[in-house]
């Protein structure tokens, strides 16, 4: 009996990295990782935007906090995208695609108060955590233990960012800044 030809996960066989994962699961996981990559790029840029435009009496502390957080976010983007490629999927090809897929909203305001910046990033990181938990369910069901394990680490990082942002805004007032 002849073996059935493997189902191609993507149009070009040249990008179909061999994997023992089910092709349908691979497609779902790669799509989820592509959206996650989009979210991370958007959150990175937003965090840097707020870092660059920080002002007020807590400038140094907030400026450094957002610099640390943006570096952490940027640090996982490549790992997320490469995970999709490792299982034979594809990832972002352009800023336009990233903009179309991201669930993180832009903030192009001329001025945002420091506490509003931190609150907005807190909420964005909290939503990112929830979205990663949803993807974790997909990867866990597909028995993709590697992606599941990575997501657990990224979720922990996102929860920590949310925590730091929450504590920085708790019981605080803008005081006009």
Q: Which domains does the chain have, with CATH numbers?
A: 21-169 (1.20.1260.10)
- What's the CA gap between 59 and 143, in Å, rounded? 45
In the structure, how many helices (H) and strands (E) does the chain have?
5, 0
What radius of gyration, in Å, describes the C-alpha atoms of the chain? 19
pTM of the predicted model as reported, rounded to 2 decimal places: 0.87
pLDDT score recorded for residue 16 = 64
Helix 145-169 to helix 114-141 angle (10° resolution) is 160
At 130-141, the pLDDT tens digits run: 999 999 999 999
pLDDT score recorded for residue 21 = 78
pLDDT score recorded for residue 22 = 82
Mean pLDDT of the chain: 90
pLDDT score recorded for residue 7 = 36
CA 127 → CA 11, 55, 130, 158, 159, distances in Å? Answer: 32, 26, 5, 9, 10
What are the φ and ψ backbone dihedral angles of 162, each rounded to 5 degrees? -60, -45
Burial of residue 153 (number of CB atoms within 10 Å: 0-12, 13-18, 19+): exposed
Ranges under pLDDT 50 in the chain: 1-9, 175-177
């Amino acid at each position: 009996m002849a073996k059935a030809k493997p189902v191609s996960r993507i149009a070009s066989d040249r990008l179909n990295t061999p994997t023992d994962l089910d092709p349908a699961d691979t497609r779902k996981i790669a799509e989820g990782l592509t959206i996650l990559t989009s979210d991370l790029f958007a959150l990175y840029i937003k965090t840097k935007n707020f870092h660059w435009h920080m002002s007020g009496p807590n400038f140094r502390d907030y400026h450094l906090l957002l610099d640390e957080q943006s570096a952490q976010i940027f640090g996982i983007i490549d790992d997320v995208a490469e995970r999709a490629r490792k299982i034979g999927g594809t990832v972002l090809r352009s800023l336009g695609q990233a903009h179309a897929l991201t669930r993180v909203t832009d903030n192009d305001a001329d001025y945002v108060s420091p506490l509003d910046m931190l609150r907005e990033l807190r909420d964005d990181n909290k939503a990112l955590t929830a979205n990663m938990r949803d993807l974790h369910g997909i990867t866990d069901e597909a028995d993709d233990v590697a992606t599941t394990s990575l997501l657990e680490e990224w979720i922990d990082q996102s929860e920590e960012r949310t925590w730091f942002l929450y504590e920085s805004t708790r019981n605080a007032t803008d005081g006009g800044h």
